[in-house]
A and B are shown apart, each in its own frame.
Chain A
Amino acid sequence: MTLLSVQGLHTHYHVEQGTLRAVDDVSFEIAEGETVGVVGESGCGKSVTARSIMGLLPRRIGEIAAGEIRFAARGGTLDLAQQDPLGPVMRDIRGNDIGMIFQEPMTSLNPVYTIGAQIVEAIRLHSDLSKADAWAKAEQLLERVGINEPARRAKQYPHAFSGGMRQRAMIAMALSSDPRLLIADEPTTAVDVTVEAQILALLEELKRERNMALMLITHDLNVVGEIADRVIVMYLGRVVETTTAARVFDDPKHPYTRGLLASLPSLGRRTRLTPIEGTVPGPHQRPAGCPFAPRCAQATEKCNTQPPTFRIDAETSVACWLYDDAEAGHA
């Protein structure tokens, strides 16, 4: 069953230089219990998409200009795009139905409150538990995410925790109200590789045991390969390819996805890494047609107009003119 359905989302940032189309006509779905990886370089709109869903766009700067964010909650579906981001409905969705963890574990926790107090705050916000029960639950959660001596650790401040431990504490906090969806925005970018593997394994475990959907935002295709079911590849605010995690490695369609893959080091393959030519254009120099065309080796005249999304089969669709005969079958 579909848990989250984003349709035609446009998110605009009003900055001094003008209006920036940070998310430009993005559509995707996340089913219950599914892990979806959202991949792309910095500035491609991954995080803005997540913040649009959470109602956490910067006030007076970010704005959902068009589109729907349908979320299955309270026995029906709710269009989060229509809600007041600061209003009671969104506040109840945030932290309760949708949890979120961030890239920077070192700065994600408030330095003047204990870890336990911050988790208890989240628990009591969305439940009627007494303070003592909430503390007990916070300790259980800390233990569940792999923190030793949770009773003692809960009374410590964030500065006594390492980066990996803080990220675990963040996960405990995000899970405190049993959300249906966890959005993880680059959760392992700022931690060591060994810690990264542990955190990913933990997210995978927790997701399975709670039948929770996971939206994993990352710039690292390897992370996606490890735990995602499906992959959404974004470039300059647009979805360029939607496919399964297996296919993204075996049969990437979009030239950008191929480029990402070719620039990835892998064990046992002694070939040169091929970086994608050029850089992501600045947000104010968005190309008129296909956003990737200026960096694409296969670009043609056609690419001066924006390609629609071609559905290749039930699992894969791609926004590239190379596949405009795809309706007929596999390209």
Chain B
Amino acid sequence: MFKNPVINRILSALFTLWLISVISFIVIQLPPGDVVSNFVRQQELISGASVPPETLEFLRQRFGFGEPVYVQYLKWIAGFPKGDFGFSVIYDGAEVADIVARRIGMTLLLAILALFLSWGLAIPLGIYAATHKNRFSDYLMSNVALFGLSIPDFLMAVVYLFIAIFVMGSDYTGGLFSEAYVDAAWSVERFWDFLKHLAVPLLILSIGGMAGTFRIMRANLLDVLGQQFVETARAKGLRERVVIYKHAARIAINPLISRLGMQLPVLLNGTIIISIVLDLPTLGPPFYRALIAQDMYLAGTVLMLLAVILLIGNLIADLLLAWSDPRVRDG
């Protein structure tokens, strides 16, 4: 369409964004009844008092209930630039944007840290396994990785909790802080407590991601090591270490970069699921509750956010790959 591939890429990303908003809106519309009636019923159940008619009228106006579906959609997305994504039923009418904003930071922190940790461990291990192919250490690592790949995150979290509490007698019960530090001001002790708590979900998340990355890295490197240019590098007289890292591993990493865009959302999903099990202050618990209670603005917005992050992740992966591989860059 346009000559510049970056502009092309961004335009197609914008189009995808629009599609995502439409699908999220359809999801919001799926449950029977509208969100406002749902909200009224919920409020009456809890407090016995009915919602004031002015509020009701305001909400109907704001979201266009009773008007055609496309008007409702337009009214919903019209709020986005102002940071208005709708209100939450289960949080007593609180703004979705506030709920999400408070928790998105911790969600991304966990997912990104887990990504770095899993890459930082899986890539060296993959290189080691590939250069020691068919030896005992390779078999051991490959089988452990297969095991890690087969266990879902949430099961791992439950198993961990079980071992920590019933076998090791830990008082860890989830969350990111011990009871004493929940509301305390930041201090060295509180930070240490935070790190100790963070380590658990981080480990569970990265082990899940590691297994796949390890296996891909090992297979890629084995493939690259069989290529002619590796022998060229050896024939130059380069050290084996330089041959492996500079000439072979450097190329074996490229397919991992293109997988990065897919891996970030997987880790986000993992974060959400683990957070439900371990009760962490991420988007996990509200999203889960919103889905059960049909709190559709909250659920739809989180869904949309996840899709947007997937999109951004893919965009970053594409740019990184173009930077890393001249064949991609030149066309």
Contact = CB atoms under 8 A, between A and B. Distances in A.
Contacts of A160: 330
Contact of A159 (B227, B239, B324, B330): B330
B249 to A, nearest CB: 11
Contact of A91 (B231, B238, B254, B327): B238
Contacts of A121: 236, 238
A314 interface: no
B228 interface: yes
Interface string B302-331: 000000000000000000000011110010
A112 B236 contact: no
A310 interface: no
Given A102-B228, A108-B229, A173 B236 contact: yes
Contacts of A173: 232, 236
A112 B326 contact: yes
B324 to A, nearest CB: 7
B194 to A, nearest CB: 41
A65 interface: no
Contact of A111 (B231, B239, B326): B326
A94 to B, nearest CB: 4
Interface in A96-118: 96, 99-100, 102, 104, 107-112
A22 interface: no
A205 interface: no
A107 B238 contact: no
A25 to B, nearest CB: 26
Interface in A167-218: 170, 173-174
Interface string B215-253: 000000000000111011111111110000001001100
B229 A110 contact: yes
A95 B243 CA distance: 14
Q: For the complex, would chain B's binding face be called helix, strand, loop or mixed by DSSP majority?
A: helix
Given A157-B326, A159-B326, A95 B229 contact: no
A112 B246 CA distance: 10
Contacts of B237: 91-96, 122, 125-126
Contacts of B326: 111-112, 157, 159
B235 A107 contact: no
A194 B238 CA distance: 33
A91 B238 CA distance: 7
Contacts of B239: 91
Which size class do B's interface residues fall under?
A: 20 to 34
A104 B236 contact: no
Contacts of A122: 236-237
Contact of B232 (A93, A125, A159, A170): A170
A33 to B, nearest CB: 21
Which of A95, A126, A173, A174 lies at the interface centre, i.e. has the most chain B CB atoms within 10 A of its CB?
A95
A154 interface: no
Nearest to A98: B235
A111 B229 contact: yes
Contact of A157 (B229, B235, B250, B330): B330
Interface in A70-102: 86, 91-96, 99-100, 102
Nearest to A159: B327
A239 to B, nearest CB: 24
Counting chain A CB atoms within 10 Å of each CB, the highest count among B233, B250, B254, B324 belongs to: B233
A54 interface: yes
Contact of B251 (A93, A99, A102, A110): A110
A157 B238 CA distance: 20
Contacts of A54: 235
Contacts of B325: 111-112
B238 A109 contact: no
Interface of A: 54, 56, 86, 91-96, 99-100, 102, 104, 107-112, 121-122, 125-126, 157, 159-160, 170, 173-174
13 contacts: A56-B234, A56-B235, A92-B237, A93-B237, A95-B235, A96-B237, A102-B235, A107-B229, A108-B232, A109-B232, A111-B327, A121-B236, A159-B326
Give the top 10 A-B pairs by smallest Cβ distance, nearest first.
A95-B237, A94-B237, A95-B236, A107-B228, A157-B326, A100-B235, A110-B229, A91-B237, A122-B236, A108-B228
